[in-house]
Structure 1
Amino acid sequence: MTPEMIESAEARLSGIVRETPLLTSPFIDEIAGRRVHVKAECLQHTGSFKFRGGWSAVSALDAGVRSRGVIAFSSGNHAQGVALAAARHGVPAVIIMPADAPRIKIDNTRALGAEVVLYDRATENRDQIGDRISSERGLTLIRPYDDPHVIAGQATVGLEIARQFQGGPTEVLVCCGGGGLTSGIALGLEMRAPALRVRPVEPEGFDDVARSLATGTRQSNERLAGSVCDAILTPSPGELTFPILQRLSGPGLTVTDDECLRAVALAAQRLRIVLEPGGAAALAAAIFQPDNIEGEDVIVVATGGNVDGELFSSALMK
């Protein structure tokens, strides 16, 4: 990962991705006890930041390699990002998705033209499935976070934050699975706003990144399912992302499913944006764990809004 790679991704994404806004609400500021700036990546194409990494990786491929098609594995947001990027490049895409992924994510991925292969995340290994299919069909595997071009694409979120936020030293809370977005933002901020420091936020019971940062070695989760935050449930930090996080991020934060659902409701009521629970984890930390955050301001990345209607309704009832 080099600044040149990130600048190249920025150029390829220019005019393709949306520059998402940095939103504020006096009501949320009052609850959190500080100014909360919400980077609304839920307004990105396909409803999450994942389109950035998907477009960056697909567009970086040699034209001949790209024409054979791409493959990815994802619970839904990376799936849709890669599917749309492939569709706009006119190449086939196969997406491996857990069978318990939200129905809206599976349906949307198919609607974008991708072939969807479902698997049981509790008993089957998605990496092995991806390696087998990509080998059989000559497809290029685009990993959800352990891919340099994906990380470079996600880094453009950090570049935008650097342009949009004019304050001093501030923590940037990021919903974190394998660390592609968190490490990408950290690299982007290192380039253009080094006073800002990222901190990963994970669901309770799936805090592999926080534990890895605390111990200095990559840790794994005992479970791969069992949280409403499906978008950020991963086995362990990436081999590429973890060293970046070790060097550039602060300690990890952990939130409960209930806090994430309450944050979904507050985002809808006070910011008028739709978030999925995993995409609201960072906002939940800012609102419900103010003592674990430093400074008068905090920046929150609202990473995705692809939520099933029934779950969204239950969150609003809170």
Structure 2
Amino acid sequence: MTIRAAVTHFEPTEAQIDAAQRRIAPYAIRTPILTSETLDRMVKGRVFLKPENLQRSGSFKLRGALNRALQLNEEQREGGIVAWSSGNHGLAISYVARKLGIKATVLMPQEAPKTKIDGVRKNGAAVRLYDKTKEVREEIGAQIAAATGATIVPPYDDPFVITGQATLGAEMAEQVRDMGQVLDAALFPCSGGGLVSGAACGLHTLMPQASVYSVEPLNFDGMAISLAAGQAMKASAQGTSICDALLVPAPGQLTLPICRAHLKEGLSVTDEEVKEAIRFAFQELKLVVEPGGATALAAVLAGKVDAAGKCLGVLISGGNVDPDKFAAFVNEQG
């Protein structure tokens, strides 16, 4: 097991983000920017959508997984990787491990979507299901790492992973700039904060004036609560949410300070608002989007930000959803 000194503060620099962009470029798709006249009319502004559901492994998580795995030394590669994930990080890690010829073990909750569990196994990784009510995934991961020599790659609270996700914000800014536009604001789905913290840093290297918002499921909006309070807080986590990828109730130790420096505010959305965004993406954009991947779009459609006369960047972060659940979301009357 590789032991590193604990990092108490981290923020990716422009040079580190540039290096990460070059590092992952041979493996990751430069996903496009999409626009919708219908959406623009609805919000009375211009919305630039970046569909990372079209990314390899089906979500933005590939970027952080690649940036970490590509910097393992030979000894670390031999030991393999152990990760924990509700799905998308596991899919990304298993995909990257297969591409690079590295062993991987992914810890997944028993109730994770079947599509995600099956996808991780199909990529050749070992899946260890655990009971969230009785087991602690970090403890299991540490035990596996100690026994096998594997390197732990957490889903969000890791400098390499955050820097990988920063490439997304930089890429969005570059593409919008190349279209002759400047973003007034950008919205990113949020769970532990690895995506929005990194993406905000990447975006701000080119468009420092843009306001950045995190978007979480209601009752799992630990980032929004923490930003409002000015300190780390935990959301109520009452009930559940269809956003299975975003059920972390509190932000990460590394991600929160970055978000406090770069974000304007944290937003939350209801399951009904997420379902409406899923339906809109399917009907108007012809995209398959998972619930967690639709939260930023849901916030825009629900009027959580003032888009009138402004240019907004919106990330669609993933598309790994069970077919039967997706069909139910699409067919349900809004």
Fold conserved between structures, TM > 0.5: yes
Q: Is 2:321 aligned against 1:307?
A: yes
TM-score (norm. length: structure 1): 0.96
Amino-acid identity (%): 42
User: Is 2:62–2:92's contact at 8 Å kept on the other side of the alignment?
Assistant: yes
Cα distance in structure 2, aligned partners of 1:31 and 1:228: 25
Cα distance in 1, alignment partners of residues 293 and 313 from structure 2:
14
Write the deviation string for residues 172-204 of structure 1: whole angstroms up to 9, x where unpaired. 100000111101111112222212232100001
Structure 2: distance between partners of 1:296 and 1:214: 24
Shift of 1:290: 4.7
- 1:223 aligned to 2:223? no
How many residues are treated as equivalent by the alignment? 318
Q: Does 1:180 align with 2:194?
A: yes
1:267 aligns with 2:281: yes
Give me the whole-angstrom Cα distance separating, in 2, the residues matched to 1:301 and 1:144. 18
Contact 1:155/1:187 (CA < 8 Å) preserved in 2?
yes
User: 1 CA distance for matches of 2:200 and 2:172?
Assistant: 11
Pick from 38, 53, 61 the counterpart of residue 42 of structure 1.
Answer: 53
Match of 1:147 in 2: 158
Tell whether the 8 Å contact from 1:173 to 1:201 is kept in structure 2 after alignment: yes
Q: Distance in 2 between matches of 1:78 and 1:2?
A: 23
Which amino acid in the other structure matches residue 157 of structure 2? Answer: D
Say whether 1:24 aligns with 2:35. Answer: yes
- Residue in 1 aligned with 2:3? none
| Residues 1:213 and 1:299: Cα distance change in structure 2 (over 3 Å) | same
Q: 2:128 aligns with which of 117, 131, 136?
A: 117
Aligned to 2:92: 81
Other structure's SS at 1:252 match = strand
Equivalent pair of 1:93/1:114 in contact (CA under 8 Å): yes
Task: Verify: 1:136 aligned to 2:147, yes or no.
Answer: yes
Residue 171 of structure 1 contacts residue 294 of structure 1 at CA under 8 Å; is this kept in 2?
A: no
Contact 1:121 1:224 in 2 (8 A): no
| One-letter code aligned to 1:50 | K
2:167 pairs with one of 156, 163, 167: 156
Distance 2:202 2:238 in 1: 30
What residue is the counterpart of 1:192 in the other structure? 206
Task: Give the counterpart letter for 1:129 in structure 2.
Answer: I
Q: CA deviation at 1:120?
A: 1.9
Q: Quick one: which of 70, 73, 81 aligns to 1:70?
A: 81
Determine whether 1:298 maps to 2:312: yes
Give the TM-score of the pair, scaled to structure 2. Answer: 0.92
Alpha-carbon displacement from aligned partner over 1:262-298 (angstroms, at most 9, x marks no partner): 1011101101111001100000001112555575221
Output the CA distance in 2 between the equivalents of 1:111 and 1:121: 24
How far apart, in 1, do the equivalents of 2:151 and 2:169 lie?
27
User: Contact (CA 8 Å) 1:173, 1:200: kept in 2 or not?
Assistant: yes
Q: 2:126, 2:269 → 1: CA distance?
A: 34
Amino acid across the alignment from 2:61 = K
Please report the RMSD computed on the Cα atoms of aligned residues, expressed in angstroms. Answer: 1.5
Structure 2 counterpart of 1:63, one-letter code = E
Unaligned segments of structure 1, at least 5 residues = none
1:250 counterpart = 2:250? no
Write the deviation string for residues 117-147 of structure 1: whole angstroms up to 9, x where unpaired: 1112233221112112111211100010111
Alpha-carbon distance between aligned partners in 2 of 1:183 and 1:200, rounded to the nearest angstrom: 9
1:213 aligns with 2:219: no
In the alignment, residue 8 of structure 1 is paired with which amino acid? Answer: A
- Is the partner of 1:274 in helix, strand or coil? coil
Residue 216 (structure 2) aligned to one of 184, 202, 215: 202
- Among 103, 127, 130, the alignment partner of 1:92 is 103
Q: Which amino acid aligns with 1:210?
A: A
2:182 — aligned with what?
168
1:241 corresponds in structure 2 to: 255
CA contact (8 A) 2:267 2:304 kept: no
**1:63-120 deviation digits (Å, cap 9, x = unpaired):** 2212210011001000011111111110100000011111000000000000001112
